C-alpha cells in the first residue's frame, strides 16, 4: 500500500514526464502496428513470386501482327466466361492491375472505348508517319531499378528500353533572338547537379539546397506511399492526432507550393524557372503545384532517361499476352456506359454500349481506370452519383488542365535534319505563373495570336534506333502546350474532323503559333514539313475519354497532396466490389499509373506487393 502511494505521488508530481513517456510508448506501439500492416502479407497468391522474364524476341515491325494484339474489337462472343474481374480502361493503370491479377490466375477482361489499347501509351499512323501521343521519356529504367523490375514482369522481359542522351532536356528562356539556354543532364554521378552549376556558377549554395531537399522528400515519401494501402481509419487517426507529422515530413513539403519553395531557395529568377521548368509534366503552375510532387518528378529523371524501343505501342503489345495467359482478354471499341450494381448496392458488372444493342457483362470484381470523375459522375447510376460530391469527399480535387498537341511529319533522317534526341522546354520568359495565367485567361479567339509561354518540343524518331528501318527517310516532331478547356468546350460533342470552321480556326491558330516558335530554335525545318496535325482538349476527350480534355487526370495542386486528401484518393471505394486504379489514385504519368496499379492490386489481394517486388528485385539482382 505504501509502495502504491509512492507511485501515485510520483505520477502526480511528474505528470509532464509521464505524459511524454506514455506518448512515446503509444508512438512506438502505433509505429509497430503500421510496420506490421506494411510488411506482413496475406496468404493470397504472389504475382511476383516467379521471375517470368525470358530473352527478348526481335522487334516486331509488321503492323498487322501488332494490331492483332492491341486492336481486338469487341463482340459479345469474345467475352470470356466465368470472369474474375472487369477493368474499365486500358491505360497503364488498368493494364497493370489486369496483368498483376492475371499473374495470380485470375481471368480478367479489359474494356477500352478507343480503337486500340494503351490509353496515353498508344500511337497513331498517318500519311506514312507514326506518332506517340503520350510517352516522351521515362526515368528509372536502368537494370534492377524497382520500376524496371515491375515492368519486366508485366511484359515477360520483352519490352526493351533505349537510354537517351545525358543531356535529356534543354530549357530555353526568352523571346526570339534573346534566348538563354540551360542544358539539363542526368546520370548516376551527379551530372544533374553539375549541369546546374555550369549554368549558374554563382548559385552553388542554392543549388545544393535544392538537391538536398530532393533527397529529403524522396526519403520521406515512403510513409506517404504506404498511406495509400493503410486502413482509412488508421490514416485518419494518424492525421487527426498529429502523429503523421512525427512519422514523415513529406506532407510539410506537399503543403508548400513550388513557387514558395523556389522563393526560399534563390533570388535568381532564371534559376527559379530552370528548377521548376518541368511543372509542365504534370500541368499545375508553380504557385498552385505541390513542391513534394515536383521533387518526386525531378528525382525520377535524375538517374537516367529512357524511351521504349519501337515506340509506345510496344507497352500494350507486350502486356496484353500476360493478361491473356490466364484466359483474359483486352477488347477495344467497347465503351462502358455504366457500372451495374446489385440489389445490395454491390458492383457486379458493366454495360458496354453498342449500336446493335447494349451488352451487360458480369464479374464479382469491377476496377475502373476511367478516372475519378468519369467513374462517379458518368458510370454509376444517377441515384448513387447524386449522393457523391467529389470535391467534398476529396478536398481540392478538380479537373486537370487540357493540352494542345501538334504532330509534324518531316522529310529527312535525324542525321540530315540534325535532330536532338533530348527534349526542349521553351519559355518566353522566366515567370511561369504570370505568363501561364495571362495565356490561360485569353479568349479563344486570342489564344493563338500572341506568344505561347510554354512549349515542349520533342523528336520521337530521333530517340528510337528502330525508326530508320521502319520509316526510312522520315522524321517526326511533337509539340505540346497547356490549354483552357473552355476555349473548345462548345465542340465537345462534335464529330472528329467535322466540328466546323470556327473550331478549326482557333485550333489551327494555336498550332501555327506553336510551330512558328519552334522554328526559332530549328529554322532549318521550315521547308521539311510533309504532315501537320493539331489536337485540342476535345481531341483528348474523344480519344482517351478525358471529361475536360485533361492529359494528367486530376489537377496536381498542393491540396491534392495534403494529408486530408492524399489518403482518400485510393483504390477502395464506398461501393463494395468496386475499385479504382490509374493516375487519379496516385500521380500522373507512366510510372504514376504503374504504381497506382500495383497499389490497387495490393488492396484487391490484401497483400503487400511492394514487399514482394523488393524481394524479387533482390533475387533478380543476383542473377
H/E segment holding residue 351: strand 347-352
The set of cell numbers assigned to 367 is 476496377
Write down the pLDDT at residue 191: 96
Write down the pLDDT at residue 42: 63
Write down the pLDDT at residue 34: 54
H/E segment holding residue 236: helix 232-241
SS3 510: helix
Write down the pLDDT at residue 2: 42
Spatial strand order of the sheet with 423-427 comes to 180-185, 167-173, 423-427, 454-458, 474-483, 402-411, 529-535
Q: Give, in order, the Cα–Cα distances in Å from 214 to each of 100, 297, 521.
A: 31, 10, 31
Write down the pLDDT at residue 30: 54
CATH topology for the 83-159+309-380+575-621 domain: FAD/NAD(P)-binding domain (3.50.50)
**Cα torsion 72, 76, 81, 86: sign:** positive
Q: Which residues have CB under 8 Å from 48's CB, separation 6+?
A: 103, 153, 609, 612, 613, 615, 616
Write down the pLDDT at residue 513: 98
Write down the pLDDT at residue 90: 98
Q: Among 2, 108, 156, 152, which Cα is nearest to 613's?
A: 152
Write down the pLDDT at residue 1: 42
Q: Which residues have CB under 8 Å from 610's CB, separation 6+?
A: 38, 225, 598, 602
Q: Among 172, 173, 168, 226, which Cα is nearest to 192's?
A: 168
Task: Say which residue the cell 533522317 belongs to.
Answer: 413
Q: Give, in order, the Cα–Cα distances in Å from 198 to each of 173, 415, 430, 578.
A: 16, 28, 19, 52
Whole-prediction pTM = 0.93
What proportions of the chain, in percent to the nearest 5, are helix, strand and coil? 45, 20, 35
How many CA within 13 A on the CB side of residue 507? Answer: 24
Q: What is the pLDDT of residues 308-333, one digit of tens each?
A: 999 999 999 999 999 999 999 999 99
The set of cell numbers assigned to 353 is 454500349
H/E segment holding residue 580: strand 578-580
Write down the pLDDT at residue 7: 40
Q: What is the pLDDT of residues 206-228, one digit of tens each?
A: 999 999 999 999 999 999 999 99
The set of cell numbers assigned to 295 is 521533387
Q: How big is the chain by its Cα radius of gyration, in Å? A: 25
Whole-angstrom distance, CA of residue 500 vs CA of residue 484:
19
Question: Which residues of the chain are modeled with pLDDT < 50?
Answer: 1-12, 15, 17-22, 24, 28, 35, 38-40
Write down the pLDDT at residue 494: 83
How long, in residues, is the chain? 623
Write down the pLDDT at residue 22: 47
Whole-angstrom distance, CA of residue 460 vs CA of residue 162:
12
Residues forming beta bridges with residue 360, ordered by sequence position: 351
The angle at the Cα of 189, spanning 184 to 191, to the nearest 5 degrees, equals 15
- For residues 322-333, one letter each, b for 16 or more C-beta atoms within 10 angstroms of the residue's C-beta and e for the rest, the string is bbbebbbbbbbb
Amino acid at each position: 500500500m505504501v509502495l502504491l502511494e509512492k507511485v501515485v505521488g510520483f505520477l502526480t508530481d511528474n505528470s509532464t514526464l509521464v505524459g511524454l513517456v506514455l506518448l512515446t510508448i503509444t508512438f512506438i506501439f502505433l509505429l509497430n502496428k503500421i510496420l506490421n500492416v506494411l510488411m506482413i502479407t496475406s496468404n493470397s497468391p504472389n504475382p511476383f513470386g516467379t521471375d517470368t522474364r525470358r530473352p527478348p524476341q526481335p522487334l516486331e515491325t509488321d503492323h498487322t501482327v501488332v494490331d492483332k494484339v492491341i486492336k481486338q474489337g469487341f463482340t459479345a462472343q469474345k467475352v470470356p466466361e466465368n470472369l474474375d474481374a472487369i477493368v474499365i480502361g486500358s491505360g497503364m493503370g488498368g493494364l497493370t492491375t489486369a496483368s498483376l491479377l492475371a499473374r495470380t490466375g485470375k481471368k480478367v477482361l479489359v474494356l477500352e472505348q478507343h480503337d486500340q489499347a494503351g490509353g496515353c501509351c498508344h500511337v497513331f499512323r498517318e500519311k506514312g508517319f507514326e506518332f506517340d501521343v503520350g510517352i516522351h521519356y521515362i526515368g528509372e529504367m536502368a537494370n534492377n531499378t524497382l520500376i524496371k523490375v515491375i515492368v519486366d514482369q508485366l511484359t515477360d522481359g520483352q519490352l526493351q528500353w533505349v537510354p537517351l542522351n545525358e543531356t535529356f532536356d534543354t530549357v530555353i528562356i526568352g523571346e526570339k533572338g534573346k534566348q538563354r539556354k540551360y542544358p539539363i543532364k542526368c546520370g548516376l554521378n551527379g551530372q544533374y547537379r553539375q549541369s546546374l552549376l555550369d549554368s549558374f556558377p554563382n548559385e552553388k549554395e542554392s543549388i545544393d539546397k535544392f538537391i538536398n531537399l530532393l533527397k529529403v522528400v524522396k526519403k520521406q515519401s515512403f510513409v506517404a506511399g504506404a498511406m495509400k494501402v493503410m486502413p482509412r481509419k488508421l490514416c485518419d487517426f494518424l492525421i487527426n492526432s498529429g502523429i503523421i507529422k512525427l512519422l514523415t515530413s513529406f506532407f510539410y513539403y506537399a503543403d508548400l507550393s513550388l513557387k514558395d519553395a523556389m522563393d526560399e531557395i534563390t533570388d535568381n529568377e532564371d534559376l527559379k524557372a530552370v528548377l521548376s521548368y518541368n511543372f509542365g509534366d504534370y500541368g499545375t503552375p508553380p504557385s498552385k503545384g505541390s513542391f513534394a510532387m515536383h521533387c518526386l518528378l525531378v528525382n525520377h529523371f535524375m538517374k537516367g532517361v529512357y524511351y521504349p524501343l519501337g515506340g509506345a505501342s510496344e507497352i500494350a503489345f507486350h502486356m496484353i499476352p500476360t493478361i491473356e495467359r490466364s484466359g483474359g482478354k483486352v477488347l477495344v471499341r467497347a465503351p462502358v456506359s455504366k457500372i451495374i450494381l446489385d440489389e445490395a448496392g454491390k458492383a457486379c458488372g458493366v454495360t458496354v454500349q453498342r449500336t446493335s444493342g447494349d451488352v451487360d457483362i458480369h464479374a464479382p470484381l469491377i476496377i475502373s481506370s476511367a478516372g475519378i470523375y468519369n467513374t462517379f459522375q458518368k458510370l454509376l447510376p444517377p441515384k448513387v452519383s447524386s449522393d457523391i460530391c467529389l470535391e467534398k469527399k476529396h478536398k481540392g480535387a478538380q479537373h486537370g488542365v487540357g493540352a494542345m498537341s501538334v504532330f509534324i511529319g518531316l522529310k529527312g533522317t535525324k542525321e540530315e535534319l540534325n535532330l536532338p534526341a533530348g527534349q526542349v522546354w521553351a519559355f518566353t520568359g522566366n515567370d511561369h505563373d504570370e505568363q501561364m495565367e495571362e495565356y490561360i485567361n485569353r479568349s479563344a479567339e486570342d489564344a493563338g495570336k500572341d506568344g505561347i509561354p510554354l512549349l515542349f518540343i520533342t523528336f520521337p524518331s530521333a530517340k528510337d534506333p528502330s525508326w530508320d528501318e521502319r520509316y526510312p527517310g522520315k522524321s517526326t516532331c511533337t509539340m505540346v502546350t497547356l490549354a483552357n478547356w473552355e476555349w473548345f468546350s462548345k465542340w465537345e460533342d462534335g464529330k472528329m474532323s467535322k466540328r466546323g470552321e470556327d473550331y478549326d480556326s482557333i485550333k489551327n491558330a494555336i498550332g501555327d503559333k506553336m510551330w512558328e516558335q519552334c522554328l526559332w530554335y530549328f529554322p532549318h525545318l521550315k521547308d521539311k514539313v510533309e504532315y501537320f496535325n493539331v489536337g485540342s482538349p476535345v481531341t483528348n476527350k474523344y480519344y482517351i475519354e478525358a471529361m475536360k480534355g485533361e492529359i494528367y487526370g486530376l489537377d496536381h495542386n498542393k491540396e491534392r497532396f495534403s494529408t486530408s486528401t492524399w489518403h482518400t484518393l485510393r483504390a477502395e471505394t464506398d461501393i463494395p466490389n468496386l475499385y479504382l486504379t490509374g493516375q487519379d489514385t496516385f500521380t500522373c504519368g507512366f510510372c504514376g499509373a504503374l504504381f497506382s496499379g500495383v497499389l490497387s492490386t495490393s488492396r484487391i489481394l490484401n497483400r503487400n506487393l511492394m514487399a514482394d517486388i523488393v524481394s524479387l528485385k533482390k533475387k533478380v539482382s543476383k542473377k
